[in-house]
Amino acid sequence: MIRPGLSRRLSKEIAGEVLFDRFSRGRYATDASIYQIMPAGVVVARTTDDVAAALDAAREEGLPLTMRGGGTSQCGQTVNSGLVVDTSKYLNRLLELDVEGRRAVVEPGIVLDDLNRLLKPHGLWFPVDVSTASRATIGGMAGNNSCGSRSLRYGTMRDNVIAIDAILADGIRGRFARLDQDAPDEPPRDLVAAMLALGRREAAEIEARFPKVQRRVGGYNLDALMPAAEPINLAHLLVGSEGTLGISTAIEIALSPLPKTTKLLGACHFPTFRAAMDAAQHIVALKPTSVELVDSTMIALARRIDMFVPTLEAFVEGDPAALLLVEFADEADENERSIEALRDVMSGLGYGFGKGGEQEGGVVAVKDAKLQAAIADLRASGLNIMMSMKEAGKPVSFVEDCAVPLEHLADYTDRLTAIFERHGTRGTWYAHASEGCLHVRPVLNVKLDKDVATMRAIAEEAFAMVREYKGSHSGEHGDGIVRSEFHEQMFGARIVRAFEEVKAIFDPSGLLNSGKIVHPPKMDDRSLMRYPPGYAVEDITTAFDWSAWPGAAGGLQGAVEMCNNNGACRKMAGAVMCPSYRVTRNENDVTRGRANTLRLALSGQLGPDALASDDMAETLKLCVSCKACRRECPTGVDMAKMKAEVLYQRGKAKGFSLKDRLIAELPRYAPVAARLTGLLALRDRIPGFAALSERLFGFSRRRTLPIFRRDWFRDGEGDRGEPLSRAGERGVVLFADTFGRWFDPETLRAAVKVLEAGGYSVATASLGRGERPLCCGRTYLAAGLADRAREEARRTIAALLPHVRAGRTIVGLEPSCILTLRDEFLALVPGEDAESVAAGAMLFEEFLVRENRAGRLSLPLGLLDRKAYLHGHCHQKAFGAMSAVEGALRLIPNLDLEVIESSCCGMAGAFGYDAETIDVSLAMGELSLLPAVRSASEDAIIVANGTSCRHQIADGAGRKAVHVAEVLAGALDRPLVAA
């Protein structure tokens, strides 16, 4: 029983955050494993004193304490029933950097990619390059003894950790390092003496029992205590201990020079999986930096994911059963020789392109750095790609990273595949062929008792086989709940008793991360799993069609459960996902946290009516519906659509606010508002009116509202030139979006000008004279009025379908609107009509690029000797449309184009005007977009296709941004040759 005063005590003693509400605890109940344990409370530590205070409280309360970084552990290491302490938000600093000595001291919560960004200007990096580098923390990596794809050259965490400052279970602090180093805060002498004595006593047993493979991270590193020529380093005992022996507060690490930029990648193609496994031992002899496997199942799955298709097309020849990605990172000449040697190895093994059958294969050399990076991203996303299967069964991690000597790799994989088949399942293989540590996940439905029993049976057979080959049952991802109970089978009883002795000396009361490595629960205890006995989801009626996924609520259950908690949404740089998390760094505000909350709410684990609760609304409040997760989450979690669904469910239960209706109904009242624009403009002209609107409607006084234009865009403005009925393929239907029509009509007029200059007849899409203008329903979706959005979708489909059937292209300017036709329409009004409209709708720039490639576009564009900076709308990025807007701008001679590397601008429609979210809105803009715009020269052109983006740039940077159509229209008026 938790003492009620614990939360109050911690709130008084801790500078960070103390989270004891059910929703917050639920978000920390899972990691990237199959397990779920509801913690008593969560502490987001701001200082090491916070960690110490949480430890003291847990000790006095009799609660276990578990440290957590990125929460990406795959074996259940970071879940427990006591206090969970999150270090990732605040304890993430680079404390000390010795460039000459190639060493650094970091706090445990610093993320690997963030650290390497700080080290890069100094020509250094931390080389334990795990696939989760964008969110894995150094503390977590030390706790797991992480390895990375290049461990063949750089070793594991243990090989790269110099020292660890730690707090022990009794609160004593010490520095664990080499014993020949003087440290001001040495561990207690009796502890050191006991460890050295244990190492001497058990040396022979350790030598006999510990696997002789590099990828061995199971149990405690007792071999670090054995007498050796090198001084014993006690930090290496803490590495891999999964936070069960001490709490790291600072970690000293060894750095390496940045790898040569002249890397070469050889993609070895094989006709059978066994052929690739057998070849690995021969390829490793060439001393590559890494050899990574991608099998045919992963290739097939990746081909379904838009972001990976161009990469696969660029380097995969035919339909191989397996690929080995072999990297060389030496001087350019040496790399070329190595690739030739690789070709010789493949040829010597009998493989060649065009040979066919069991000799079909060969090497595709990849020299382009961008393509190499894209391939590395695909390979690193292997886990999530596997998890993108939509059926009820999912690849489950429990024998994932067993490691065997390379000479046994082919036989081991054959035999393990046979075990899977005998149990009625299959597995997908990927990862580190160079180390004999292949990742494999059998497909199981762990909601079913029979599949959980199958999981255990497979584990027992697999681990017995690994022991036979003298391999390691835990080769990379640690022990946690999954593997700890098998230590006695793998190491023998005497070694396990030694593990227990170490734990008892360090932590006699079992306070630190209990149940891991020693005294574990059963790995198949369903009460500890994400889907415990009795797990069920209420079968609600949904607004959207979720039938592509399995489960209750029309498939919404399956869509939400696609989140595997691997945490790709936690990255802080690159692409878009997840912009609100990049500002707040709260688990509440990341796609993973929202998906977990939805799953728990749908399954009744957060209490009755949780889906429509204020806590759920708070969970989703900072989701800007950027749709980046739709593309960038390899399992395809579309939180924007899920948010719209939840807002709809909440609205049904509690009604919609006046603010919601003002946002939603904008397309309906816009014609009246445009005629009263002078009156409405008084809100931002008369002192006090903006403050009044904030109190009444919730629109921030710090924003001026968009101005309805008296010169709004009329449908007839696009109806010029030859009638569409006679225009054939030169006929284009312009979809005039609500925002462009009433706020930025110059963008639509510019588009008409450009299209007509290109020889196209343009007509504006409408239902006919006297009918209300068409709308995509975006504003209704943003407010949760999905039924009204469906009405708009039906009106729009009815108007556009005849044009699409006549072979005409629907062209639109506002990304969030035209892409709604290609996305939400399919879920609101599923069927052939919606699919036809979706297939016939294009962004303005997509249409121009398509026509140019087909040789049908001839625009008389003049020289434009200007610099242009392009900010991409989130939905353009989410739908892979950024290359099109770049391509359209590059039609202009002499235009110097630079793409701003930015996430969401932060405006996101009404989000940026809301008094409750304006601070986060502005902070999103300040991450990269607004500073880049401010630094642009005064005569530079700022291009942003999104209405919201342009308004954010105007408000936050004082610069006018324009649509690509306006840039092209301006270039039409310029001379064709230099003056």
What span, in angstroms and rounded, lies between the C-alpha atoms of 383 and 402? 15
User: For residue 724, what pLDDT is reported?
Assistant: 65
440 secondary structure, DSSP code: E
pLDDT in tens, 323-342: 999 999 888 899 999 999 99
User: For residue 140, what pLDDT is reported?
Assistant: 97
Question: What does the block give as tokens for 124?
Answer: 């250094």
Measure the CA angle with vertex 823, ends 820 and 827; round to 5°. Answer: 110
What span, in angstroms and rounded, lies between the C-alpha atoms of 497 and 904? 53
Question: What does the block give as tokens for 873?
Answer: 């709308």
Q: Where are the alpha helices (DSSP H) in 574-625?
A: 579-584, 591-602, 614-620
Q: Where are the alpha helices (DSSP H) in 523-569?
A: 556-560
Among residues 750, 747, 714, 799, the alpha carbon closest in space to that of 947 is found at 747
Centroid of chain to Cα 490? 35
The per-residue DSSP string of 665-726 comes to THHHHHHHHHHTHHHHGGGGTSTTHHHHHHHHH-B-TTSPPPPPPTTPPPGGGG-BSS-HHH
What span, in angstroms and rounded, lies between the C-alpha atoms of 339 and 330? 11
Question: What does the block give as tokens for 969?
Answer: 């229209």
Specify the residue for token string 């062929």.
Answer: 433
What span, in angstroms and rounded, lies between the C-alpha atoms of 524 and 610? 29
Helix 832-840 with 786-805: angle, nearest 10 deg: 70
- The continuous run of DSSP H or E covering 847 comes out as helix 844-853
Specify the residue for token string 């108007």.
Answer: 799
Among residues 141, 151, 85, 148, the alpha carbon closest in space to that of 110 is found at 141
Contacts 24+ apart (CB under 8 A), 931-935: 932/869, 932/900, 932/902, 933/869, 933/871, 933/900, 933/957, 933/959, 933/961, 934/959
What span, in angstroms and rounded, lies between the C-alpha atoms of 125 and 120? 6
Question: What does the block give as tokens for 675?
Answer: 């005629």
Q: Is the pTM of this model over 0.85?
A: yes
Among residues 386, 360, 362, 365, the alpha carbon closest in space to that of 375 is found at 365
Amino acid at site 164: I
pLDDT in tens, 71-129: 999 999 999 999 999 999 999 999 999 999 999 999 999 999 999 999 999 999 999 99
What span, in angstroms and rounded, lies between the C-alpha atoms of 410 and 436? 9
Beta strand 17-19 pairing with 41-44: antiparallel
Q: Please list the ranges in the chain whose pLDDT falls under 70.
A: 1-3, 183, 382-384, 386-388, 431, 719-729, 975-979
3-state secondary structure of 308: helix
Q: Is 447 exposed, middle or buried (0-12, 13-18, 19+ CB in 10 A)?
A: buried
For the CA atoms of 924, 569, 560, 663, the dihedral, rounded to the nearest 10 degrees, stands at 10
Question: What does the block give as tokens for 9?
Answer: 């005590």
Instruction: Look over the chain and give the mean of its residue pLDDT values, rounded to a whole number.
Output: 93
Number of separate helices (H) and strands (E) present in the chain: 46, 26
* Residue 577: CB atoms within 10 Å: 28
Amino acid at site 117: R
Among residues 31, 20, 96, the alpha carbon closest in space to that of 67 is found at 31
Q: Is 614 exposed, middle or buried (0-12, 13-18, 19+ CB in 10 A)?
A: exposed
The residues, any chain, with a CB within 8 Å of residue 15's CB and separated by 6 or more, are 46, 47, 49, 50
